């Protein structure tokens, strides 16, 4: 993990997801779902859910969409039973891929995920085949251009709040936490006046797989196809591509 910035990949992913209104709502629903799943469906008792709901309202997400995401996470959606699944596999060039699914029909979800892999030069694997290559971490980004604080100041405040480590790139300060410390660190940094560009609990690759141009094209197509599946909540991978090549693609 150390020494490899997620920042540009995060920004590209966000720009792609946020390019359409429907994509924005899908992302917001995912945030609400995960927060409610982990901390309960009452925003007054779940700070992460309150944050996700407030963000959804700022983006004019309809209340019925918000309520549906909460009910989906807490199992209170009448007549429908949802389950959360993780599919693992390999993408082009041997990249490790994990796909987070929330579905009421796992046979349909499995078929769609398998089709996306096979169409783009990948294949599904057994449970656990790539999970060991990722660590679940809290991940917080502070845009370096948007803050007047220097690296030492931010690092000290992050560590005091409970963060594990911080990496610095030209664009951003990237802060990593244990999942159970994430809300505490996020809250403390916000109270200290920092604007957080990204704040999420995610899967961080331990190592990365370098891809050439042809492999990168296929991998990007695979990720896009997976993210367009209705049941897919998130896609994690360890693709590494030179910035110049990725910009061209």
CATH number for position 91 = 3.30.70.980
Residues 179 and 143 in one domain: yes
Domain that holds residue 100: 83-132+207-248
Number of domains in the chain: 3
Residues 155 and 189 in one domain: yes
Grade residue 2 by pLDDT with cuts at 50, 70 and 90: very low
Q: What is the mean pLDDT of the chain?
A: 86
Q: In the beta sheet, which residues pair with residue 141? A: 174, 198
Residues 152 and 57 in one domain: no
Torsion on CA atoms 28, 29, 30, 31, rounded to nearest 10: 50
pLDDT in tens, 148-183: 888 999 999 999 999 999 998 888 899 999 988 988
**pTM, full prediction:** 0.78
Residues 11 and 39 in one domain: yes
Residues 32 and 150 in one domain: no
Burial class (CB in 10 A: 0-12, 13-18, 19+), 207: exposed
**How many other CB atoms sit within 10 Å of the CB of residue 59?**
13
Report pLDDT for 93. 95
Burial class (CB in 10 A: 0-12, 13-18, 19+), 79: exposed
Counting DSSP H helices and E strands in the chain, the numbers are 9, 10
Residue 1 lies in a domain: no
**How many other CB atoms sit within 10 Å of the CB of residue 223?**
23
Residues 118 and 211 in one domain: yes
The last residue of one of the domains, among 52, 74, 96, is 74
Residues 212 and 195 in one domain: no
pLDDT in tens, 94-122: 999 999 988 889 999 999 999 999 999 99
Report pLDDT for 4. 52
Residues 126 and 222 in one domain: yes
Which comes out higher in pLDDT, residue 92 or 11? 92
Residues 108 and 67 in one domain: no
**How much is the average pLDDT of 138-147?**
89
pLDDT in tens, 53-101: 988 888 889 999 899 889 888 877 666 677 889 999 999 999 999 999 8
Grade residue 21 by pLDDT with cuts at 50, 70 and 90: low
Residues 91 and 138 in one domain: no
pLDDT in tens, 211-229: 999 999 999 999 999 988 8
How big is the chain, counted in residues?
Answer: 249
Residue 60 lies in a domain: yes
pLDDT in tens, 25-50: 877 887 888 888 888 999 989 988 98
The encoded tokens of residue 43 equal 């925003």
């Amino acid at each position: 993990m150390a020494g490899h910035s997620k920042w540009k990949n995060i920004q590209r992913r966000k720009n792609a997801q946020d390019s359409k209104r429907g994509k924005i709502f899908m992302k917001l629903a995912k945030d609400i779902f995960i927060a409610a799943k982990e901390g309960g469906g009452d925003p007054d008792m779940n700070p992460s859910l309150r944050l996700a709901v407030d963000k959804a309202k700022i983006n004019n997400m309809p209340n019925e969409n918000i309520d549906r995401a909460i009910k989906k996470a807490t199992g209170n959606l009448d007549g429908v039973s949802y389950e959360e699944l993780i599919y693992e596999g390999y993408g082009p060039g041997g990249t490790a891929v994990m796909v987070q699914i929330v579905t009421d029909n796992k046979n349909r979800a499995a078929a769609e995920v398998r089709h996306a892999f096979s169409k783009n030069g990948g294949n599904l694997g057994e449970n656990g085949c790539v999970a060991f290559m990722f660590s679940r971490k809290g991940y917080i980004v502070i845009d370096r251009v948007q803050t007047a604080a220097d690296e030492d100041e931010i690092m000290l405040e992050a560590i005091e709040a409970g963060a594990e480590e911080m990496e610095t790139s030209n664009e951003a300060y990237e802060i990593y936490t244990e999942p159970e410390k994430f809300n505490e660190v996020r809250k403390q940094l916000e109270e200290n006046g920092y604007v957080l560009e990204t704040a999420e609990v995610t899967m961080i690759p331990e190592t990365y797989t370098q891809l050439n141009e042809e492999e990168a094209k296929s991998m990007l197509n695979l990720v896009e196809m997976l993210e367009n599946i209705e049941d897919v909540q998130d896609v994690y991978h360890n693709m590494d591509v030179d910035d110049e090549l990725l910009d061209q693609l």
